Amino acid sequence: MGEGLQSRASGPRVAAIVPAAGRGERLGGGTPKALRALGGRPMLVRSIEALRRSESVTQIVVAAPPTLVEVVAQLLGRDVRVIAGGAERVDSVRRALRAIDEDVSVVLVHDAARPLTPPALVDAVAAAVLAGHPAVIPVLGLTDTVKEVGPDGRVIRTPPRDRLRAVQTPQGFRRDVLTAAYALQDIPATDDAGLVEALGVPVTTIPGAQEAFKVTQPPDLVLAEALLARCAPGDPRAAADPRGGTDPRGGTDPRGGADVRAGSDVRSLG
Ligand SMILES: Nc1ccn([C@@H]2O[C@H](COP(=O)(O)OP(=O)(O)OP(=O)(O)O)[C@@H](O)[C@H]2O)c(=O)n1
Ligand SMILES: C[C@](O)(CO)[C@H](O)COP(=O)(O)O
């Protein structure tokens, strides 16, 4: 386990922005996706734990659903800054970027929806930026063939698969580069690196991790639950004890348990 965020004062400051304000419409279920339970703990709590257990992250800023800022702040504890997210993911990240400390030089952007991301991947991305790459993204090769398809449903072309990659988070950036990218307006991009590419800044890839997959649709949640169930007892990722939850610091976590819902008292969950 990494040391506490506050005590990592020496060396470069690395902030992690966690966009968590999405509705989770593709997953369904009513509760905002970041607060859906996975192995007895909210998905967002698991994603934050990966950042806390990394060696490199010194500050965490979460963009929460606007009506749940207080609930999420109580859930995550005082070492995490929680702000209201925006209508789209880019709006949430842009707002969070304004909330990071002045002395931060590297910014990671990490989806709340990737709860099983290994802390080592967080550190690998941060290390690559600190080594001098202005923008770094974790990627995996594809197993399916990908086609470009027109609005009429007809195939336009088949890009060579060996040059395609699926992109994960955390994505890491020099702070000035990400700030400049987010100052651009009306750039269609589905990830943060897409905005940086529009600036003309090179983006470097490093190997991603299978476990860092994004929980987007119902089968993803089933897979995540199954992977957690296979974690050895004592592994901080293990499914929470149904009596109250597994605290990665070794105690009982009253924040474990069911999905968090708007208006619920976080302290009573578990
Ligand atoms: N307005 C938004 C939309 C998304 N996100 C966050 O961006 C990440 C990736 O988004 P995605 O997986 O698409 O989540 P949702 O937007 O919740 O999913 P959906 O599109 O199915 O509603 C998630 O952690 C999500 O909470 C955000 O902070 N603010
Ligand atoms: C940022 C991202 O997770 C990289 O793969 C992805 O593009 C987010 O897309 P979503 O549609 O917001 O889930």
Residue 231 maps to a domain = yes
Phi, psi of 33 (to 5 degrees): -55, -40
Q: What is the mean pLDDT of residues 180-204?
A: 96
State the pLDDT at residue 97: 98
**Helix, strand, coil percentages, rounded to 5, for the chain:** 30, 20, 50
pTM score of the predicted model: 0.89
Domain containing 222 — which CATH number? 3.90.550.10
Q: What is the mean pLDDT of residues 49-61?
A: 97
Whole-number average pLDDT of the chain: 88
> Where is 121: in which H helix or E strand?
helix 119-130
The three-point CA angle 131-182-209 to 5° equals 50
For 108, the token pair is 């990671």
**Ligand 2, closest atom to CA 190?**
7
Residue 17 maps to a domain = yes
Instruction: Quote the domain boundaries for residue 75.
Output: 13-239
Burial 58-95 (b: 16+ CB within 10 A, else e): bbbbbbbbeebbebbbebbeeebbbbbbbeebbebbbb
pLDDT-based confidence at residue 248 (cuts at 50, 70, 90): very low
Residues with CB under 6 A from ligand 2: 89, 111, 167-169, 190-191, 214, 216
Instruction: Please tell me the distance between residue 191's alpha carbon and the centre of ligand 2 in angstroms.
Output: 6
Mutate to test the pocket of ligand 2, among 25, 26, 89 (most ligand atoms within 8 A of CB): 89
Residue 267 maps to a domain = no
Residue 166 maps to a domain = yes
pLDDT-based confidence at residue 260 (cuts at 50, 70, 90): low
Q: 111-139 pLDDT, tens per residue?
A: 999 999 999 999 999 999 999 999 999 99
Residue 3 maps to a domain = no
**Whether the predicted pLDDT of 263 surpasses 70:** no
Which ligand is closest in space to the CA of residue 208?
A: 2
Instruction: Please tell me the distance between residue 216's alpha carbon and the centre of ligand 2 in angstroms.
Output: 9
Phi, psi of 44 (to 5 degrees): -60, -40
State the pLDDT at residue 242: 42
Question: Which of 124, 136, 104, 140 has the alpha carbon at shortest distance from 17?
Answer: 104
Q: 74-111 pLDDT, tens per residue?
A: 999 999 999 999 999 999 999 999 999 999 999 999 99
ω before 170 within 30° of 0 (cis)? yes
Kindly compute the dihedral angle of the four CA atoms of residues 221, 227, 233, 234, in this order, to the nearest 10 degrees.
-80
ipTM: 0.96
Q: What is the mean pLDDT of residues 46-66?
A: 98
Residues with CB under 6 A from ligand 1: 19-26, 33-34, 63, 85-89, 92, 111-113, 214, 216
Residue 64 maps to a domain = yes
Instruction: Please tell me the distance between residue 129's alpha carbon and the centre of ligand 2 in angstroms.
Output: 21
Mutate to test the pocket of ligand 1, among 33, 67, 82 (most ligand atoms within 8 A of CB): 33
pLDDT-based confidence at residue 9 (cuts at 50, 70, 90): low
pLDDT-based confidence at residue 13 (cuts at 50, 70, 90): very high
Residue 54 maps to a domain = yes
**Ligand 2, closest atom to CA 22?**
12
**Ligand 1, closest atom to CA 26?**
21
Q: What is the mean pLDDT of residues 16-40?
A: 95
User: Residues 178-187: contacts with CB within 8 Å, 24+ apart?
Assistant: 178/97, 178/107, 178/109, 178/135, 179/97, 182/90, 182/93, 182/94, 182/97
Q: What is the mean pLDDT of residues 64-79?
A: 97
State the pLDDT at residue 239: 66
Q: What is the mean pLDDT of residues 169-177?
A: 98
Residue 150 maps to a domain = yes
> Which residue would you say has higher pLDDT here, 217 or 30?
217
Instruction: Please tell me the distance between residue 87's alpha carbon and the centre of ligand 1 in angstroms.
Output: 10
Q: How many domains does the chain have?
A: 1
Q: How far apart are CA 202 and CA 168, in angstroms?
A: 17
Q: 140-169 pLDDT, tens per residue?
A: 999 999 999 999 999 999 999 999 999 999
